[in-house]
Amino acid sequence: MGYVVLILFILLIILCIRCICIVPQANAWILEVLGRYRATWMAGIHLRVPIVYRVAKKVSLKEQVADFEPQPVITKDNVTMMVDSVVFFQVFDARLFTYGVERPIAAIENLSATTLRNIIGSMTLDETLTSRDMINGQITAILDEATDKWGIKVNRVEVKNIQPPRSIQDAMEKQMRAEREKREAILTAEGKKQSAITLAEGEKQAAILRAEAVKEQTIREAEGQAEALLAVQRARAEGIRLINEANPSAQYIQLKSFEAAENMAKGQATKIIVPSDIANLTGTFTAVTEAVRNNEGK
């Protein structure tokens, strides 16, 4: 009898433990009673009646990511390309998520593919490649509105990859290569132009500086020649003055005349005519010199 009571007591403890349910954080459990929806248990401790109460579904309330396979899409200009999208969603109503749709993730995938085809089908290839943000916004708005009755909140949809056909990719690469070569040629031409302009400016400045240097040199040489000529004339004038002050004799004047004749003989002339009365000329020069002195004395 004692063993029976002990066994019954153990069974009662096990039954009580099984009646206690602990729902983890960020989760929701759907409770059914005899096959009908009873309640939604949120995080915490709950009690249930065995056999009568049944946990029909455990739903995660965290944000989830659904990465779908690439879908073939035809653009407005009849280009078929593969588009890969990612959907970020979160369950806000566990009851609607459980009873609203069969296989919610598959439903989101099909709805996303259909919406993506409709949006990209109204755009050209170039618009598709340059308008990802607009495509993401439109798909997010449409999916969010459609999944409200499923208890799902679509936070955002991202077009992860757009892959055009290989022929289109080759054409785009050739176009990009041509654009790069064009920009390179323009930059090279601009560089050569700037180099030529800089070189011409340098040659211009050098020519100006050379002209200024030649001008300065010519001016200085002219000034030097003028000063030298002036100095020679001053020296000659000083020599004449000194001769006049020294009262040169007739013999000195006659000697100077002979020196002048000798200097004349050193030139290129082949014949030199010397006056026979050079002595008389010397006397005449002496008389003239004395007359000049007398006039200066007066």
Cβ atoms of 75 and 81 within 8 Å: the answer is yes
Question: Cα–Cα distance between 7 and 60 in angstroms, integer?
Answer: 38
Q: ∠ CA 165-166-172 to the nearest 5 degrees? A: 95
Please state, rounded to an integer, the average pLDDT across all residues of the chain: 80
Higher pLDDT, 279 or 51: 51
Domain residue ranges in the chain: 18-59, 63-164, 167-246, 247-298
Question: How confident is residue 35, by pLDDT bands cut at 50, 70 and 90?
Answer: confident
Angle at 65 between CA 60 and CA 69, to 5 degrees: 130
State mean pLDDT over 140-164: 90
Of 34, 66, 78, 67, which Cα lies nearest the Cα of 53?
Answer: 34
CATH superfamily of 63-164: Band 7 domain (3.30.479.30)
| Cα(195)–Cα(203) distance, integer angstroms | 12
Task: Give the mean model confidence (pLDDT) for residues 160-177.
Answer: 78
What percentage of the chain carries pLDDT values higher than 70?
A: 80
CB 87 within 8 A of CB 146: no
CB neighbours of 132 closer than 8 A, spacing ≥ 6?
159, 162
pLDDT band at 49 (very low <50, low <70, confident <90, very high): confident
Q: Would you give the DSSP letter of residue 100?
A: S
Count CB neighbours of 23 within 10 A: 17
Closest CA relative to residue 296, chosen from 222, 244, 257: 244
Choice between 151 and 259, residue whose per-residue pLDDT is larger: 151
